[in-house]
Structure 1
C-alpha cells in the first residue's frame, strides 16, 4: 500500500492506526476528567469526594457540603441511588471465609447503608433544594435500621415531606416509573401536598388505570387528599365507580366527595353495598354515608334496616351514620 509516495506494509499501517487510536482515547479520557472536574470545589476537592468523606470525617464533610449547597445534590443523589448487584451480595456472604487482606477490599454493605443514611441526612438539611433527588429518595427501601431505629427509608420519608411542593414535577415524573412501588409512593407524596398538588391531578387521573392495584389505590387516596384542587380528575373518578372492586370503589367515592361533594351518584352505590350482608365493605359504606351527612339522607331507611341486625361493627357504624345525618339536618 502506498501513502504519500511511501510504500507501507500492512503491519506498519496497523501500528499507525493503533497509535492514532491510543492518542484519541487518551484525549477522550483527558477531556472526561476535565469535564468531571468542572464546578465548585472546597479545599480543591469536588462534591463527590466530600460525600465519600461522610464515612471518614463526618463533621468536616458536612461543613464542606454546606458550602456546596444545592450544587452537592447530584453527588448525594448518586449515593442514594447506588445499589449493589446480587453478585456482590453473594461475594459478601463469603467474606468471613476469605483472607483478611481480600475481605477488607470487598464492598461492604453495612458501610454502603451508613453512607446512604448520611447522604440523606444532608439532603434533609437542604430541604426543598433537594427536590432533584426526589426520584432517588422514592426508591429507598426499608432496611434493618428502619426496624430498630431511624434508617434510610425513615430518613427518605422525612426528606420527601420536607421537600414538599418543590418536588411536584419529580413526583409526577415518577408516576411513569417502571417500578410499581415507586409509582405508588409518588402518588402518596402528591397526596401529602394537599391543595398544592392540584397541578398533578391529570397525572393521578391517568394512574387510575394503572395495572397494579396498589398504584390505583394510592392515586385515588391522593386525589381525595388534594381535594377541590383536583377537579380535573372528576371525570376519571366518576368512571372508576364502575369498577368491580368494592373496596376501591369506596375509596373513589370518598375522593369524589372530598373533591366535588358528589353524592347523587355515590349514595345509591353505598346503599347497594350496605344492603348486601355478604359484602365485607358494608361498614366502610356506612362510615362514608355518615361523612356525607345530610347529602346521604336518602340512605336513612337502608341504615335503619341495619339496626335490626345482630350486634356487629357494621351496625355500630350505621348507628353513628344515622346520628351524624340527623344531627346535621337539625342544625340546618
Structure 2
C-alpha cells in the first residue's frame, strides 16, 4: 500500500511538470484575435455574408504562410459516411441546437473555399506554387479560375509558370481561358510571345471577357509589413507593384523603411508604378531627402504632364522652396 502511495505521489508532480513544459515550452500555433487559422477558415468556409466573408478572409491573410497547412488539408477533404449523415440530418435539427453547434461543411465547399483563400495569398513557397500549378488541371472550373488568378501573385517569372498558363489559355471554359491569359500578360516572361498569344485567344473569347483583368487592390495588402510591401515592389505583376505603392502610401511615415526600393521604382517600366512611387515619396516629406536627386533627374527627362506635376509636388514636399512653378501647381 505504501509503495503504491509513493508511486502515486511521485507521478502526480511529474505529470504536472510535463503539462507545464508542454504548455509553455512547446511552440504554439499562431493565432489572430485569439483564434487559430483553422478556426478562421472554418468560419470563412461557412459564411454566405459578403461583409463577414471579407473580414474572415483578411484574418486568414494575416497568418501569411502559416495558413497553408490548413488550406492543403481542406483541399483533400472527403465526405465520409458520418459526414454525409451529418449533412443530411443537420437541416432537420431544431434551430436551438443548430445555433449552438458548428454546421458541417461539404467537402466540395471546403475544397473550393481553400483554393479561393490560396488565390488571395502570395505563392512564395514551392508548395503553394505547386498547388496552384496543379490546380490549373483540376476538374472543377471554379478551382481552375482561382488557380489562374492566384498565379498573378508569383514572386518571380519562370518557364514553368509560363508553360502552365499558356496551356490554360486553351482551356475549354472561356472564363478560365480569359483569367489565364490576363495573368500571363501580367507575369509572363516573354512579353512578345504573350502578345501574339493574346491576339489569338482574344478572337475566341466573348467580348466581355477579352479584356478581363485580375484585380489586386491595396486593401488586400493591408495585413503586410512595410518590409513585405517593399519586396512586393519587385514582383513581376505590374498591377501588384502599383497596389504595393498605394499600400505603402497608406502607412504614412512608416513607409520610410521602403525608401531605397521606392527610389528604384521610379525607373519602373509601368507608368502607374512610377506615379505611385513619386506620390509615396512626396508623402514622406523630409524623410525622403535621399530621393531628391532621382526625382530631379526624372523631372528633367519626363514629357508626361501629370507625372511632371506629381514630381514637382513631391520635391516641394521633400524640400520646400519658393518656386513659383511649384506653388502654381
Question: TM-score, normalised on structure 2?
Answer: 0.41
Question: TM-score, normalised on structure 1?
Answer: 0.41
Give the number of the structure whose residues are more often helix, by fraction.
1
Structure index of larger Rg: 1
Higher relative contact order (CA 8 A, sep 6+): 2
